[in-house]
Structure 1
Amino acid sequence: MIVEVGGQSVYAYTGGRTFDPARPVIVFVHGAQHDHSVWGLQSRYFAHHGFNVLAVDLPGHMRSAGPALTSIGALADWLDALLAALKVDEAIVAGHSMGSLVALEFAARHPRRARAIALLATAFPMAVSPALLEAARERELNAIALVNAWSHSTLAAKPSSPGPGFWLRGMNQRLMERVAAKGEPQLFHTDFAACNAYADGLASAAKVACPVRLIVGKRDMMTPPRATNEIARTFKDAGVRFDTVSLDAGHALMTEQPDATLDALYDFAVNAPRIGNG
């Protein structure tokens, strides 16, 4: 589906179903140098089990027009504008890595539209080393290869995604290379710089009023589980309905553990209360 937001075209995968205003809405937000396809297995299931699905390409990524936005706050406001364009009053937002920061900031800035948020492979701060930032700017293909290796906890996840014989590392490598080829110059650096500069995580977490689920990979080298400790304490202190699900996976949760990720998301989504209904 193509939607006009601020005069720019935005692509959102709907899981093969027509958008139906009577259904609840879930938005899937990808991470750095990715697109909507990283949610392929989970988003399609939701679309065929009671939900409107909007698995978006962020601005400047693949099928969505650029330029890419340079801050997490701008991406959060863009997400609100997308929902407004579709006349969506409230939505559940699931974000992976950089997308998790977008989901968090969206819920803090636009509480009337945030029904619940699921933060996958998140961290605060989501610092990026100067060496990796420099590589993303000057040697993008090298940076892609490094991040792809660090994102997977195994060479051959079982049963694999979407089935035996699929090479997870190869699929992700090619996706990131394709995003680089189709996108504006230094897009990986733009995404990483936005993550690295985001300083509002704890303040924004304290403003969140909707239910929150953290989904972490026990073997995640990019955003290790301990990196969620401060933000989890902030949710708890704020009295937010909050829990954590740990999966036996690395950073690439959706492909290394597709069914477990889906179960953690779907259980959370179907039990998220409507806004104003407790």
Structure 2
Amino acid sequence: MHTMNLNLSDDTCYCYTGGRPLQPGRPTAVFIHGAGHDHSVWTLQTRYFASHGWNVIAPDLPGHGRSAGPALESIEALADWILALLARLGCEQAMLVGHSMGSLIALEAAARAPDRITRLALVGSVFPMPVAPPLLEATLSARERAHGMINQWSYAPQSQLGASSVPGVNLTALNQRLMQRQAPGVLHRDMSACNAYAAGFESAAKVRCPTLLLSADLDRMTPPKALGPLVQALGNAAQVHRVVLSGAGHAMMAEAPGAVLDALWNFAGAQPSS
């Protein structure tokens, strides 16, 4: 399994590459996880892209998963970190894919470096992305309760009753364990960054590349009906595509992994295969 540990901003950064080494001449896709998560939420999508002609970079953000350092406190700082990672890897252009908090990071990075981002995929995204005060408080004072609230709001009803895209896998228990693995304070810092981010519309207006807004019809955290203002703000993008998946919630990469992959692959243009 091909992975990378890099020194970035005086700390060690872990990147998953989809099981394949990075190769010159291939297009690059960067997959950015959401709050309290790590690179593993993208397992199917990253492995497929890496096996079909793409370089894949799926980092653990600072303080998450296997990456060292404190979790960064703002979406802007995280966007700068992603751009610094691309520079560290010598990657001049890339497609950015971000889920939830990761979508805000991808949006901000695309606004800050429009000549370096070829395509932008915002998965489970809205702006603004407010966090309910009871959840924000729970991330600080009652982590397990916060994890339960996130699971309740992130998964479709059938998933909470045990349905799974992978037979025998309990999706909500898997997500709870993933959040438990993060250091104390990481989830609160992530949620606070989402709640405080105020530049979304201004940054969306600076995006110039084709942009995908990928939503799920049962998403209660970033519902598709709330996307209108962001779509309007993206008016200067080369193209804006909207896809709404049926039967999934905010955790759509777990609940509908194949459908998420199909949407991303079609948006990417199904570039080289092999």
The answer on whether the counterparts of 2:211 and 2:237 sit within 8 Å (CA) in structure 1 is no
The match for 1:23 is 26
**Which of 124, 128, 133 pairs up with 1:125?**
128
Give the 5 Å matches for 1:1-278: 1-156=4-159, 160-161=164-165, 163-179=166-182, 183=183, 185-235=184-234, 237-248=235-246, 249-270=248-269
State the AA in 1 paired with 2:11: Q
The answer on whether the counterparts of 1:27 and 1:92 sit within 8 Å (CA) in structure 2 is yes
- Structure 2 portions without partners, runs of 5+: none
Deviations 1:108-160 (A, max 9, x none): 00112111110000011000122211111111111011101211003348983
- Structure 1 portions without partners, runs of 5+: 273-278
State the AA in 1 paired with 2:124: A
State the AA in 2 paired with 1:168: L
Deviations 1:91-121 (A, max 9, x none): 0010000000000000000112111110000
Indicate the SS of the match to 1:207. coil
The answer on whether the counterparts of 1:124 and 1:231 sit within 8 Å (CA) in structure 2 is yes
The Cα of 1:39 is off from its aligned counterpart by 0.4
The Cα of 1:238 is off from its aligned counterpart by 2.2
State the AA in 2 paired with 1:66: G
Aligned residue pairs total 266
Q: CA separation in 2, counterparts of 1:221 and 1:66?
A: 32
Q: CA separation in 2, counterparts of 1:239 and 1:139?
A: 41
Relative to structure 1, the CA distance from residue 159 to residue 115 in structure 2 (aligned partners, 3 Å threshold; closer, same or farther) is farther
Relative to structure 1, the CA distance from residue 146 to residue 266 in structure 2 (aligned partners, 3 Å threshold; closer, same or farther) is same
The answer on whether the counterparts of 2:17 and 2:57 sit within 8 Å (CA) in structure 1 is yes
TM-score (norm 2): 0.94
Runs of 4+ with deviation above 4 angstroms = none
Q: CA separation in 2, counterparts of 1:156 and 1:210?
A: 35
Relative to structure 1, the CA distance from residue 18 to residue 199 in structure 2 (aligned partners, 3 Å threshold; closer, same or farther) is same
Indicate the SS of the match to 2:72. coil
The Cα of 1:271 is off from its aligned counterpart by 6.0
Give the CA RMSD over aligned residues.
1.5
Deviations 1:35-77 (A, max 9, x none): 0000011111111011011111000001011111000000000
The Cα of 1:239 is off from its aligned counterpart by 4.9
The answer on whether the counterparts of 2:205 and 2:237 sit within 8 Å (CA) in structure 1 is no
State the AA in 2 paired with 1:116: R
Q: CA separation in 1, counterparts of 2:35 and 2:154?
A: 12
Q: CA separation in 2, counterparts of 1:239 and 1:105?
A: 14
The answer on whether the counterparts of 1:155 and 1:169 sit within 8 Å (CA) in structure 2 is no
